[in-house]
């Protein structure tokens, strides 16, 4: 009996190290990390006409956990936020480095860091762990959103260290289904408030009976203010019909 290709690779040991290519050109440890990301809770990011917004599913089911201790949206600097999908402990290390970089930029140059500098550093760190032995790849996809010079930016980096700028994107569970809806219904002229309502509409369609407002967190930055603001709890009710 012929074994499936992936099982053959495991038998041959091509998945034992992140630096070992399989005969058909795959880094299997990296591909396993990508599967981990798809098991993570989802986040949607949108660039709107008046700013940028992220709606994140915290997916907390244990009532014993204090919800404020499980934030999915993290402040990098006043004008930049980030969220992740996958192994959030991995994400924390990357976010810590991003926060330090942002503060070093303010101290050294006296100005706020550009969002692209943050995502580039995160992507470089991820790429490094696909190239050197002795450590596994970061099992996390990172979305960075921010405002610079009155303009909104949204970036996403995958586990391989690639990153791209987006007008709208999704990471985590059901990301392909969400992206299909975004491709069809996203409009650049949406306001932040319309964007939040649009994201909740998508989550209601995807989650169906599992949709609960208590599991979500919203962060947005207006072009005119350049400062992160959060919405959670009962404040979210006005965005859901």
- Asked whether residue 67 is domain-assigned, the answer is yes
Contact, 190 vs 49, CB < 8 A? yes
- Extract the tokens encoding 88: 């959030």
Q: What does the chain come to in residues?
A: 241
pTM beyond cutoff 0.75: yes
- Asked whether residue 24 is domain-assigned, the answer is no
Residue 42's nearest CA partner among 141, 120, 129 is: 141
Euclidean distance between CA atoms 232 and 235, whole angstroms: 6
Least confident residue range of 200-204, 212-216, 227-231: 212-216
- Asked whether residue 99 is domain-assigned, the answer is yes
What's the number of domains the chain is made of?
Answer: 1
- Asked whether residue 166 is domain-assigned, the answer is yes
Residue 21 DSSP symbol: B
**Whole-number average pLDDT of the chain:** 90
Inform me whether the pLDDT recorded for 11 exceeds 60: no
- Asked whether residue 26 is domain-assigned, the answer is no
- Asked whether residue 75 is domain-assigned, the answer is yes
- Extract the tokens encoding 224: 């005119």
- 108 against 28, higher pLDDT: 108
Q: Which structural domain range is residue 214 located in?
A: 42-239
- Asked whether residue 5 is domain-assigned, the answer is no
Which residues, at least 6 apart from 100, have a Cβ–Cβ distance to it below 8 Å?
Answer: none
Contact, 30 vs 130, CB < 8 A? yes
Quickly state the pLDDT bin for 150 (edges 50, 70, 90). very high
Least confident residue range of 11-25, 166-180, 185-199: 11-25
Q: What is the CATH number of the domain that holds 125?
A: 3.60.20.10
- Asked whether residue 160 is domain-assigned, the answer is yes
């Amino acid at each position: 009996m012929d074994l499936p290709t992936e099982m053959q690779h495991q038998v041959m040991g091509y998945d034992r190290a992140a630096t070992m290519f399989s005969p058909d050109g795959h880094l299997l440890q990296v591909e396993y990390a990508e599967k981990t990301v798809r098991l993570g809770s989802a986040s949607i990011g949108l660039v709107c006409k008046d700013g940028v917004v992220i709606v994140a599913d915290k997916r907390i089911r244990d009532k014993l956990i204090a919800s404020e201790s499980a934030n999915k949206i993290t402040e990098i600097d006043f004008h930049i936020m980030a969220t992740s999908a996958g192994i959030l402990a991995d994400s924390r290390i990357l976010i810590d480095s991003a926060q330090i970089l942002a503060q070093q930029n303010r101290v050294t140059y006296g100005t706020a860091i550009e969002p692209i500098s943050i995502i580039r550093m995160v992507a470089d760190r991820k790429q490094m762990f696909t190239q050197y032995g002795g450590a596994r790849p970061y099992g996390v996809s990172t979305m960075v959103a921010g405002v610079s010079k009155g303009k909104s930016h949204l970036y996403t980096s995958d586990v391989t260290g690639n990153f791209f700028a987006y007008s709208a994107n999704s990471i985590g569970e059901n990301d392909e289904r969400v992206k299909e809806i975004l491709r069809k219904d996203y409009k650049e002229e949406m306001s932040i408030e319309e964007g939040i309502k649009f994201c909740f509409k998508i989550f209601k369609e995807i989650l169906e009976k599992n949709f609960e407002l208590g599991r979500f967190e919203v962060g947005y930055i207006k072009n005119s203010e350049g400062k992160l603001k959060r919405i959670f709890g009962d404040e979210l009710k006005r965005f859901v019909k």
